[in-house]
Amino acid sequence: MKKLTELLESNRQWAEKISKEDPMFFETLAQQQAPEYLWIGCSDSRVPANEIVDMLPGELFVHRNVSNLVVHTDMNCMSVIQYAVEVLKVKHIMVVGHYGCGGVKAAIETEPHGMIDNWLRNIRNVYKKHRDLLSVWDHSHQQLDRLCELNVIEQACNVCDTTIVQQAWANEQELTVHGWIYGLDDGLVNDLEFNASDAEEVDDQYRLAISKIEILRKLAQGPEKETQTARSLWDKVRSIFN
Ligand code: CO
């Protein structure tokens, strides 16, 4: 029989450390949760929600799956969104993708991966929708970066399109949907600047976010295209828009 002794010991020390700083921390938290944020992210072990935004237990409601997909028939994800919006009344929902996402990479590979390909089909649909835009990058890692970004934007739109978010906005509930992407190699979140706070804003925010990727495409045709990182490219895009 194998026991996870080390992890249980780590847990004990962690709880002790927090209780030392705030003796009432767990007792207060056990009474209720009132997070302002719902994080929808990838299951990837390198993208831990709370740590990335330096938040304590109780501050972030979290849903994670392979490649941070929001599929309207996924009762798990829909239930999380419903509870977060209708009961917890979170003020922000962020869809958080990450560069170098294995699920996104697998979605555009030709060899089969078994059952998961049914799930990854959703990303392949994003790829098909933006095939022209993505074609300039050929099969470089930059194409993967852009597909990871486009996937976030599409999933953020999917959040906006849920009956739950539509209803909340119809009731004038304060709620904004955001699109972020995290860099595994520098620990920084890149804000894709999709921020929709009501139903009317969604199309404009979508078009604006896509137009920024179109600028990235123009930059990719420039002379130093091979050396450009996602961060340096986005810095250039922001300087154009600001
Ligand atoms: Co991933």
Q: Is 98 a catalytic residue?
A: yes
Q: Is 42 a catalytic residue?
A: yes
What lies within 8 Å, CB to CB, of 101 at 6+ separation is: 42, 44, 67, 144, 148, 151
* Least confident range of 23-27, 103-107, 235-239: 235-239
Q: What is the pTM of this model?
A: 0.94
Residue-range domain boundaries for the chain: 34-211
Q: Is 72 a catalytic residue?
A: no
Closest Cα partner for 101 from 19, 152, 42? Answer: 42
Give 128's Cβ-side CA count (13 Å radius): 7
> How far is ligand 1, taken at its centre, from the CA of residue 42, in Å?
5
Q: Is 63 a catalytic residue?
A: no
Task: Determine which one of 101, 148, 157, 160 is catalytic.
Answer: 101
The whole-number pLDDT of residue 84 equals: 98
Q: Decide if domain 34-211 falls under CATH 2.60.120.10.
A: no
> How far is ligand 1, taken at its centre, from the CA of residue 123, in Å?
12
Task: Determine which one of 63, 77, 98, 130 is catalytic.
Answer: 98
The whole-number pLDDT of residue 224 equals: 61
Query: Within its chain, how far is the Cα of 83 from the centroid?
Result: 18
Contact 176, 196 (CB under 8 A): yes
